[in-house]
Amino acid sequence: MMDKMTAKNLILEGKTVLGIELGSTRIKGVLLDNNHEMLAQGGFSWENRLENGIWTYHMDEVWSGLQACFADLKANVKKEYDVELTNIGAIGISAMMHGYLVFNENNELLAPFRTWRNTMTDEAVKILVKEFDYQIPQRWSIAHLYQSILDDHDYIKDIRYMSTLAGYVHWMLTGEKVLGADDASGMFPIDIDTKDFDAGMLEKFDALVADKGYPWKLKEILPKVLLAGESAGTLTEKGAKLLDPTGGLKSGIPLCPPEGDGGTGMVATNSVKVRTGNVSAGTSVFSMIVLEKKLSKVYPEIDLVTTPDGSLVAMVHCNNCTSDLNAWVAVFKEFCDTFGVEMDMDTLYGGLYRKALEGDKDCGGLLAYNYFSGEHITHFSEGRPLFVREQNCKFTLANFMRTHLCTSLGAIKVGNDLLVENEGVKVDCIYGHGGLFKTEGVGQRIMAAALNTSVSVMKSAGEGGAWGIAVLAAYMQWKEENESLSDYLENKVFADAESTTLAPDPEDVAGFQVFIERYKAGLAIERAAVESLK
């Protein structure tokens, strides 16, 4: 750990990097030293709002939140090191991936900002998938643009720029209309050979809307795609005052390409190299695997995005993971309270999770579905949490808990099996992060069995996306000539990182396979529950 005097000198000399991420519920900033260790952090809590059927944030909240976050960071630097934060080596901006922000020639917002949560683009998606022969998720920017065209919104003709939240903030800070490759891949499909928006699909889109007579071509209103390590402009005087209205922050600070939270998550888990991936498992669960080659066909269950340095990534996103499991743990807590047994939640979770490892590898014939909401992987628009068993199955606490852990990964297993069985995708290691992995060795072991691959969990997940975008700023600023992002992460960021790796146990894998066949066969039961329990 660096001593305070050395850290103070680094701050005074501007030998630091700042990462700011605008997440769903929190804007967070972290200041790192030249060893990628955190010197200080700041934050601001905010919430999206549902207005006229649209999940959105107001632009004034974006700036008041950013300013509050930076002010908090500055105050913490002053308190910890007795120095004013006026100069920084490099800055990176990250935000929720995807979304829809469109502006006119006067840089005025033409429609309310739509976040990733909005799913009103089904009609547009069906047309675009058929036109492009490429999976287009409802949350992508192009889906929102085309849906707005189908809905005949008058403002479309006035659009001169379209971006994501990270791209918008970066534009205001630097004047540069650019976007990192990962975030750009959530706006419009990327050609992994050119590392740019797919030219053929751009032409197809322009032809699709040619009869509208708009005064723009799609390429003209999209940001320029940049790869990790490339320069993305510098902080202008206006931008410096937007971040720090006190006027203390200097202009001229270089910024790295702005990115989405998917890209910063890959960086924060050291999973940007081909044949690596990461799984985030909490309330929802998603996997991101870096591919060796393009997929042979379109899969509605699989989204295609990129790493920040432009490699193709298969993303499987599931709406449901631990919510039903958490509900059952809450019932056990109520049981303890009823009989006066004092038990904190960490102890309860840990004990129940570890008990699951004593269960039969195939969960003893038990079956559950964790569908609090719909699950597109298995084609459900609604869900009903469900537990079911035959009379002669092995109904024990261990099997009960193992069943709920296995079913929390059921949908992600179905999605990833498409990659492995249909496309021959190879994965050397998966990095796990999120609440499912909090009890050491349990969620990790079940995940290894589900995906039949080694799963690593780092002792510290860093500071998530804000830390990840700060590392991307560091990479731009401090990388050696021709040093790849994966080499920089491997050799300079994670070389001494503590982690535990579990290889899949063959008996666990075989047991999970028996469970998943029961899971798929029983989907008719879940469908009946949805239809019957209105």
**51-62 residues labelled b (16+ CB within 10 A) or e (exposed):** eeebbbbeeebb
What backbone phi and psi angles, to 5 degrees, belong to 431? Answer: -100, 120
Q: What does the alpha-carbon distance between residue 488 and residue 472 come to, in Å, rounded to a whole number?
A: 10
Could you tell me if 157 and 108 are in contact, meaning their C-beta atoms sit under 8 angstroms apart?
no
- Tell me phi and psi for residue 27, to 5 degrees: -95, 125
Angle between helices 442-451 and 345-356 (to 10 degrees): 40
Helix, strand, coil percentages for the chain (3-state, nearest 5):
45, 20, 40
- For residues 255 and 371, give the distance between their C-alpha atoms in angstroms, rounded to a whole number: 42
Question: Which residues have a Cβ under 8 Å from the Cβ of 276 and sit 6 or more positions away?
Answer: 270, 289, 290, 427, 428, 429, 430, 431
Q: How far apart are CA 375 and CA 300, in angstroms?
A: 12
Neighbours of 510 (CB within 10 A): 14
pLDDT at res. 462: 46
**CA 6 → CA 3, 32, 79, 292, 341, distances in Å?**
6, 13, 16, 43, 50
Distance CA 348, CA 336 (A): 10
Tokens of 283: 């309330």
Mean pLDDT per 10-residue section of the chain, whose length is 534 residues: 86 96 92 94 91 91 98 97 96 93 97 87 95 93 97 97 98 98 97 97 98 97 98 98 97 97 90 93 90 94 95 93 95 97 95 98 98 89 94 97 98 96 94 89 97 87 78 97 96 90 97 98 98 93
**Whole-number Å distance between alpha carbons of 296 and 42:** 45
**Residue 223 corresponds to which tokens in the numbers above?**
């940001």
Q: Which of 306, 522, 503, 301 is nearest to 412 (CA)?
A: 301
Domains and CATH numbers, the chain: 270-460+504-534 (3.30.420.40)
Q: Are 333 and 343 in contact (CB under 8 A)?
A: yes
Six token digits for residue 372: 């609090």
What is the DSSP annotation of 19-49?
A: EEEE-SSEEEEEEE-TTS-EEEEEEEE---E
Of the CA atoms within 13 Å of residue 43, those in its CB half-sphere come to 12
CA distances from 448 to 286, 499, 502, 504 (A): 15, 15, 7, 5
Q: With beta carbons less than 8 A apart as the criterion, state whether 17 and 467 touch.
A: no
End-to-end distance of the chain based on CA atoms, in angstroms?
Answer: 57
* Cα–chain center distance at 398: 32
